[in-house]
A and B are shown apart, each in its own frame.
Chain A
Amino acid sequence: MKYYQPEKECASVEEIRAWQSEKLVKQVKHAYDNVPYYRDLMDKQGVKPEDIRSIDDLHKLPFISKYDLREAYPYGFLAVDKSEVVRIHSTSGTTGRRVIAFYTQHDVDLWEECCARAIVAAGGDKNDVVQVAYGYGLFTGGAGLHGGSHKVGSMTLPMSSGNTERQIQFMQDLGSTILCCTPSYAAYIGEVLKNMGLEPNKDIHLKAGIFGAEPWTEEMRRGIEKSLGIKAYDIYGLTEISGPGVAFECSEQKGMHINEDHFIAEIINPETGEVLPEGTKGELVFTCLDKEAFPMIRYRTRDICVLKREKCSCGRTFIKMAKPMGRSDDMLIIRGVNVFPSQIETVLLEQGYQPNYRIEVDRVDNNDTLDVFVEVTSDDISDTVKDITVKEKELAMAIRNMIGIGAKIHLVPIGSIERSEGKAKRVIDRRKLID
C-alpha cells in the first residue's frame, strides 16, 4: 500500500486546481451565509461571495487571524447548528485565550483521512501496530492519529503520552511498528530504552515514527532515528484548521505534502499581507475547502515557511511545505533581512550548545547590530581566551550561513542570562526604544 487515496494524492495539478476552485466557491458562500462575524469581515473588505469564482479570486478575501477567533469566542465561527457538532478540540491557550474548534462527523472523517494518508506515507497499512503516544483529550494529536490509524485498519494502541516504561512494555509485548508522538517525547523514549538496556530492532520492532506538534531539528531527527531504529516522519497541522495531517512527510523526508484537495496554502508577507510567489519565505496562510462546522478561510497561521511544488520521488503531486522556521510574531528585520530567533536556536543546537541564549538588536550610527549571548557549559570552556574566541567565531560563521547576516557572538558563563519565570528572555530589541 503506497497511498491511502492515490486518486487524490497523485492527481494532476490541473485537477487539483479545479477541485480547489469549485470547493472554494462553496466554502466561501457557506461561511458568508452562516458566520455573521465572517460576513462582516467580507463586507468590510467589500467582497461578496459572487466575486469568488475560482482560486484566482482568493486574494480578494479578508484574512482571519487568531485575534478574530478570540473576539468570536466561543461560538462565533460555528457555521452549523450546534446539534450537528459531534466533537470539539482546543488549543492549550498558553498565549492568551484558547481557541475551540468544532467538528461535524463529516469534518472528523476528512481529518482522519488526512492522518491516514500520513500513516500510509510512513509505510503503514492494516498489518501495522500503531502506538499513539500523543496526548488524548482536548489536544488534537491523540485523536487525529488514532482516527487515522483506524481508517488505515491498523491495530491502534491508544496509549496517550507518559508512563514511558509502560509504553516500552507495550512495544515489546505487542510488537508496535509505528510510533506517533511529539518529537521530544520520542527522543525521551529513546533515552529510557537505552537506560533500560534495551536495543532497537532487537528488543523492540518499530519501523517508523510520525512526529509533530512542536518544532524539531534535523539533528533531533537523526538522534531519534538512531535511538529507536526507525525512519522519523514529520507531520504538520493546527487545531484551527483541523489538527495534525494538514501536511505530512513522505519517504523522501524533504518537506511535507499539503493535502491540497482539502486546504489551499498561500505564503504572504506578514507585514503587508501581499501574496508572495512560490519559493519565497513568508507567513503560511490556510484556507479550508471542506469544513462544515468551523470554516477557516485565509487563516493566518503565523508560521513562517516556504512552499515548493516539485516532482517528488514518492509520486505525490501535492505541494510541499518546508518545516516552519519561526513565528511571524517573533520575526526581526535586521539590516533588511528577516531573522527568526528559532533559526539561531537551530544553529546553536546543531553546534552542540544549549538553547540558552539572548539576542540583542540595536542601532549604532544608523546600522543595525546583532549580538547573540550564549551560555556555555564546562565542556565548552577553555583556560585561554583565545580558544573561546575561536569558538565564538565558528559559531558566528554558522549563524551567518543560516540567516545571511553577521552576528557578534558572546559565549558567557551559565547564569549570565537573566531568566524571567524560568524562561530566558530571548530577544531584546533596543531599536524599538529609540524609534
Chain B
Amino acid sequence: MSTGHITIDLDAIIANWRALDKMTSVETAAVVKADGYGLGAATVAKALAKAGARRFFVAVAEEGGAVRNAVGPGPEVSVFAGHMRGDTDTIGDLGLTPILNSLEQVTRHFDALPGHPFGIQLDTGMNRLGMEWDEWAAVAEIALAQRPTVVMSHLACADEPDHPMNAYQLDVFHKMTDGITVPRSLAATGGILLGKDYHFDLCRPGIGLYGGLPFTKARPVVQMDLPVVQIRHLDAGEVVGYANSWQATRPSRDRDPISGLRRRLDPVDVRQGHAILRQRTRATYWPRVDGLTDRGCDRPQRRPACVDPAWGSTNSGSTGRRVRHNWLRNPDVTWWALYTPDTRRMKRLLAMIGAATLGGFTTVGRIALFTASTFRHLATQPFYGREFGQALFQIGFLSLPVVGLTALFTGGALALQIYSGGARFSAEAVVPQIVAIGMVRELGPVLVGLMIAARVTSSIAAEIATMKVTEQIDALVTLSTHPMKYLTVPRVLAATLVMPALVGVGDIIGILGGYIVGTERLGFNAASYLQNTVDFLEQRDVISSLVKGAVFGFIAALMGCYYGMAAGRGASGVGAATKGAVVAAAVLILVANLILTEAFFSI
C-alpha cells in the first residue's frame, strides 16, 4: 500500500458549524474558500446548506460555480477577492456577490453590473484586503446608497485572544462603520470565540468548521490514513525539509510520527530511492489554508498540535456520510497540492486551451448550421415581402453615399500611385488600364464588402441582438412567426441581391475617381482614357466583380443575423454581438476574396 487516503466527516463539519452558530445570536455564514479548505467546496457547501447555512464565502469568482451549483439559486455566495477584471460574466451569470476591496472594484462593479448585489471589505490593520480610511471615505456614501449585503473586515490576530491587535481592529472597525444601517461582519472563527463584541450582524467561520485551531472544541473532520515511506532518526537541532523549515528541539525516537510524516510528504526521498519501510501509520490532521495573500506554496501548519499519533490501528471505520478521497488521484487535498508542482493550475491552463479550441470549432459548426437553416427557410413559405423590400432599401439604397465616396477617393489615389510607381519603369501610360483592373477585380468588391460589413452587418447585428434581449424574438415565435423567415431570410437575400449592384456602382465610381485624377492632375486625354478602360476590361473581370459582391453581401448579412440571434443577455450582449459580427464578416470577406480570386484568375 503506497498511497494514503483521507476520510472527511461531513457530519463533523455540520456539527462544528452548528456549534459555532450557537455561540452567537447572529447569522452564521460558512467559508468554503480554497475548495472548502481542500475538502471539496461543493460537497461541504451542500452539506452545510442542508444544515441551514444561507451564506457562503469563496476566495475567487472561479470557485463560485461549484458552490452555486451545489447550493442552488437561493443562498448568497460571496467572493472575498471582489470583482476582479474579467469576472463580470461569472459574477453575473452565477449570481455571486463580490466583496469589493477597492475603489477600482467599486467602479468596475457599478459600471458592469449596476444593481447587482455586492459587499464591501474594509481594512482595519491587517493589510490583506479591503479599503482603507481615505478610499472608504471617498466611496462610502455612494456605495452605501446601493445597499451592500455586508460591510466586513478581517481580524489579523484573532487566534490569540489576548493580543492587543484585536481590540485595536475592533475600535477601527467601529470608527469606520458606526452609524451605517448595512449588516456588518468582523468575526471569522477566531472572532466568534472572542465574544459578543466581535459578532456584529454576521459571523463567517472558516477553519473552525474544518476542525482547525483556534476552535479547540471542534470535532475532528479530516482523518488521514497514510503509509510511511521512511522513518528517520533526528538528533536535537537537526533540521527538516526545504529551507530548513523545521528544527527538532529534542532527539526523536525511532518512530517519531512527525519526522515520518514530513519525510513521507516530501517527494525528494522517493526520487532519491531511499529504502522504503513498509509501516502504516494513522494520524489525525487538520489542514490549514491561509486565504488570499498566501505566501505561495506554504507548508501546512507546523504546530505539532495538528498531529495526533495513533499507532498501529488500521483504517477507521468510515460510516455514514463520509467521503473518501484517494489523495494521489485527487490532488484537491490542499496539503498534497502544496507539496507537488501545481498540477491544478496546469490542468486549468490545458482546460482553457481546450475550451477555446472547442469554442472555435463550435462557432464554425453553429454558423454552418445557421447557414443551412437560412437556405431551408429561404426555400419554404412564407416569404416576408415587406421586410425584404425594407431590407433592400436599407442595405442597397442607403449604402450608396458611403460606397460612392470610398470608391471615388480610392480610385483617385490608385491613379496617382500607379502613375508615380509606373514612372520608375516608364509605364505611366498604363494608368487607365490598371485603375480599371484594380478597381473592378479587387478594390471595388473588397472595399464595398468591408464598408457593408461596417455599416450593414453592425446594424443588423445590433438590431437583432436588441430584439433578442428585449424578448421581441420570443414574441415573434409566440405570434407564429419564425424569426429565421421574418428576420434572417429577407436581410440575407436582399444583401446578396443588392450587393452586385452596389459593387457595380463602386467599380464605376472608382474608375471615375481615377479618370478625374488622370485627366485633371496627370494630363491624360479624356476620350482616350475612357477608351483604354473600356477596351481593356474583359467580361470575366466584371463578372468576377459582381459574383464577389453577391458572396460578400451574403456573408455580411449572414454574420449580422447569426451574431444577433446568438446574443447574450443585456446591453453588453448587444455590444458583443455587434463586435463579433463585424469582425467575423470582415475576416470572412477577405478570405472569400482570396478564394474567389484564385477560382476566377488562377489560369
Q: Do A and B come from one complex?
A: no
